[in-house]
Amino acid sequence: MSYQPGRHFLQIPGPTNTPLPVLAAIAKPTIDHRGPEFGKLGLEVLSGIKTIFKTESPVVIYPASGTGAWEAALVNTLSPGDRILMVETGWFSTLWSRMAKKLGLEAEVIPGDWRHGVDAAVIGAKLAEDKAKAIKAVCVVHNETSTGVTSGVAAVRKAIDQAGHPALLLVDTISSLGSIDYRHDEWGVDVTVGGSQKGLMLPPGLSFNAVSDKARAAAKAATLPRSFFDWEEMIAINGKGYFPYTPSTNLLQGLKVAIEMLHAEGLDNVFARHDRAAEATRRCVRHWGFEIQCANAAEYSSALTAVRLPEGHSADALRATILERSNMSLGNGLGPLADKVFRIGHLGDFHELMVTGVLTGVEMGLAACGIPHKPGGVQAAMDYLGGNAARMAQAAE
């Protein structure tokens, strides 16, 4: 069938659905990026984005994907041959470590099982062993998009401090920023990496570095080559609302509106909405009789849920069937999880009716593919959401 009626359900864990007000802002005529109108826009978004990172420090905005922001975090703070400590929590932590090695850094990777988050105690022990203080940075992924596991950044900061180690703390929030509570300043993060296409509800194309004073001081001594990603050149001209090269003008117009939308809802309400969607999804998955990829309930992600199918059943075939029958895209398994898991994204611009619609599409797909499951998972999600709504109404009375 060449045409599928109705809206497409984009339920991968990013890019996410872009709301109409953001699309309308992006579709406005492109303005002069060196003119006074843009200078005003630049100051608004550079100030507003700080509130999403919960920081008073500069946030540098690049016309790049999140991968560009990874590179910016590394090349601004480190020198060739520097030792860094990284933690394998899934596919994206692995890609970041590969990048570090390509850049000439000595990356020690703490192995993981792709079902658990960062173990802060192991990081603390590694740093305590480093008597020469040779490790220059610790790099962790806050929310691992491939597994649906969220790690405790505050615990990592505490472990670094307890070890009395000067290492920088670099954190990837590409799939958590604007979806899961994150606090750059309070948690003592030196560089936070972010992207536009997930909780910020924009198309891909913008990436971010929130930068501490300690990180900027490290950048003065760092010697990895950098030009496009140089912080100081950006920060200097950002003070007037401008950029040292042509920025993604129309995406910045959309970012302004996205920030306003997040503020209008209230960040705490945004996070609570994601929490409810995630819990409803997990209850549905458990009712079906499936295992959640994240093995530790304390580390469940509120941005996505990765679902393990029983042995002998293809997650990719299920996803293809759901796409064909229900016009809905789900996330695929990555790396060693390929064809073993599918990922349900519940982040960005959505509400509870959309959550139940997504789960309905999955349950119909399971039946169509003949995958053994206990029917009624959607009802389990609805029971939770309905009970939650009733409790909220009682609390408001």
pLDDT in tens, 133-166: 999 999 999 999 999 999 999 999 999 999 999 9
Cβ(298)–Cβ(116) below 8 Å: no
Packing angle, helices 66-77 and 213-221, rounded to 10: 60
> Residues annotated as binding site?
343
Report pLDDT for 397: 58
Crossing angle of helices 352-369 and 377-396, rounded to 10°:
170
Q: At 302, phi and psi to the nearest 5?
A: -95, 0
pLDDT tens-digit series, residues 233-266: 999 999 999 999 999 999 999 999 999 999 999 9
- Cis bond before residue 15 (omega within 30° of 0): yes
- Asked if the model's pLDDT at residue 390 lies above 90, the reply is no
Integer Cα distance of 89 and 150 in angstroms: 9
Does residue 315 contact residue 342 with C-beta atoms inside 8 Å? yes
- pLDDT tops 60 at residue 395: no
CB atoms within 10 A of CB 64: 21
Strand-pair category, 143-144 with 135-141: unpaired
Query: Which pLDDT score, from 0 to 100, does residue 396 have?
Result: 56
The pLDDT of residue 3 is 82
The residues, ordered by sequence, that sit 6+ positions from 75 with a Cβ below 8 Å of its Cβ are 103, 222, 224, 225, 226, 229
Average pLDDT, the chain: 97
Q: Fill in the amino acid letter for 264.
A: A
Residues 297-316: what's their mean pLDDT? 98
DSSP 8-state assignment for residue 300: B
Binding-site sequence positions for substrate: 343
Token digits of residue 259: 């920030």
Residues near 164 by beta carbon (within 8 Å), at least 6 away in sequence: none
Q: How confident is the model at residue 309 (pLDDT cuts 50, 70, 90)?
A: very high
- With a cut of 80, say whether residue 350 has pLDDT above it: yes
Give, rounded to a whole angstrom, the gap between the first and last alpha carbons of the chain.
50
Collapse the DSSP code of 57 into the 3-class scheme (helix H, G, I; strand E, B; otherwise coil) and give the result. coil
Q: Are 52 and 384 in contact (CB under 8 A)?
A: no
pLDDT (tens digit per residue) in 46-78: 999 999 999 999 999 999 999 999 999 999 999
- pLDDT tens figures, 85-125: 999 999 999 999 999 999 999 999 999 999 999 999 999 99
* pLDDT (0 to 100) of residue 60: 98
Euclidean distance between CA atoms 49 and 58, whole angstroms: 9
Query: Stretch 194-218: mean pLDDT, rounded?
Result: 98
C-alpha 274, offset from chain centre:
13
Q: Is the pLDDT of residue 391 over 80?
A: no
Q: Mean pLDDT throughout 222-232?
A: 98
Residues 271-297, mean pLDDT to the nearest whole number: 98
CB 155 within 8 A of CB 120: yes
Domains annotated on the chain, with CATH: 20-263 (3.40.640.10), 266-396 (3.90.1150.10)
CA distance linking residue 108 with residue 335, whole number of Å = 20
Percent of the chain at pLDDT > 90 equals 95
DSSP-derived letter for residue 29 is P
274 has a pLDDT exceeding 90: yes
Q: Which two tokens stand for residue 278?
A: 């995630």
Dist CA 49 CA 155 (whole Å): 25
| Phi, psi for residue 173 in degrees, rounded to 5 | -120, 30
Phi/psi at 328 (5° precision): -130, 130
What are the CB-based long-range contacts (under 8 Å, 24+) for 232-237?
234/60, 234/61, 235/58, 235/60, 235/211
pTM, two decimal places? 0.96
State the Cα–Cα distance between residues 353 and 5, nearest whole angstrom.
19
344, 362 contact by CB (below 8 A): yes
Per-residue confidence at 2, pLDDT binned at 50, 70, 90? confident
